Amino acid sequence: MDVAFRDPVLARELKVCADCLALSTGLVADEEGAEDLAMIFRLPRTPDGYFLEDHVKLRPVDLPVPGFFVAGTAHGPKTIRESIAQGQAAAGRAQTMLARNVINLGAAVARVEGKKCAACLICVRACPFDVPFINAEGTSEIDPAKCHGCGICAAACPAKAIQLMQYEDDHLMAKLDGLLEGVLR
C-alpha cells in the first residue's frame, strides 16, 4: 500500500510503500521524574502523567503554581516545531515575570498561628490548591507565594488557627459592630 504524507521535519511531501501503517509513535510521560516534580512542587498532572496547564486558552504554558511553566513533551506528545514554539512562549512568560522589580502576591493570603494549630490535617484536605502542609515543628504551614487566598482552610480550621489576611476575625467583628450600632440607634 502506498502512503503519501507531509514530513514536518523535512518540510516536504513523501510517498512510502508500507505493509503496516502506524499513525503516530507511542509517547508516554516520564513517570518517575514527573511524579517527583509533581510531589515536590505540588504540580497537577493529567491522567496520562503529563503536566496540566492552568488554562488551556488563556494561560497555555503557565502551571497553576505561580512561577512554573510547561513546554514540550512535559505537556503532552508534540512535534519538535510545536515544542520549540511552546518553549519560546514559556521563556517569554518567565521573562515578563523576571522583568518586574516586585512580584505582587496579593494581600489575601492565609496565615497559620502555630500555637493554636493541632495538626489535624483538615486544612490540608480542604484546600483545593494543595497549599497547606505539616512542617517540621508539627504544625500546619502555608506558603504565601502559593496561597490563592480563597479562605477555605481558614473556614475549615476547627481551632481557628488560620486567618485570611485582610479578613481577620477581629476586623470583621469590628465592622459588624459598627453596622449593628447604626441599625440599633
Query: What tens digit of pLDDT does each residue of 145-172 get?
Result: 888 888 899 999 999 999 988 777 777 7
| Residue 69 banded pLDDT, cuts 50, 70, 90 | very high
pLDDT given for residue 88 in this prediction: 97
Measured between alpha carbons, how far is 103 from 115 in angstroms, rounded to an integer? 30
Residue 22 domain flag: no
- What backbone phi and psi angles, to 5 degrees, belong to 95? -65, -40
Q: Judge whether 126 lies within some domain.
A: yes
| Cell output for 154 | 481558614
**CATH number of the structural domain spanning residue 157:** 3.30.70.20
Rounded to the nearest integer, the mean pLDDT of the chain is 88
Separation of alpha carbons 11 and 31, rounded Å: 32
| Structural domains counted in the chain | 2
Do 114 and 156 have their domain in common?
Answer: yes
Chosen domain end from 98, 122, 139: 98
61 & 115 share domain: no
User: What's the domain range around 165?
Assistant: 110-184
| Confidence band, pLDDT 50/70/90 cuts, at residue 75 | very high
What grid cell was written down for 70? 510547561
Domain boundary among 74, 98, 122: 98
What per-residue confidence (pLDDT) applies to 121?
A: 94
Assess if residue 174 is contained within a domain.
yes
Q: With 80 as the cut, is the pLDDT of residue 107 above it? A: no
* Beta carbons within 8 Å of 139's beta carbon, 6+ residues apart: 112, 114, 117, 119, 161
State yes or no: pLDDT of 8 exceeds 90. no
Query: Of 98, 126, 156, which residue is a domain's last?
Result: 98
Percent of the chain with pLDDT over 90: 49
Instruction: Retrieve residue 14's grid coordinates.
Output: 513523501
Q: Per residue in 12-68, pLDDT tens?
A: 999 999 888 877 777 888 888 889 888 888 889 999 999 999 998 999 999 988 889
Q: 7 in a domain, yes or no?
A: no
Looking at the chain, the whole-number percentage of residues with pLDDT higher than 70 is 97
**Whether residue 86 has pLDDT greater than 90:** yes
Query: What's the pLDDT score for residue 104?
Result: 67
CA distance 128 to 111: 16
Are residue 85 and residue 127 in the same domain, yes or no?
Answer: no
69 in a domain, yes or no?
yes
My answer on whether 138 and 177 are in the same domain is yes
Residue 87 lies in a domain: yes
Say yes or no: 87 and 125 in one domain: no
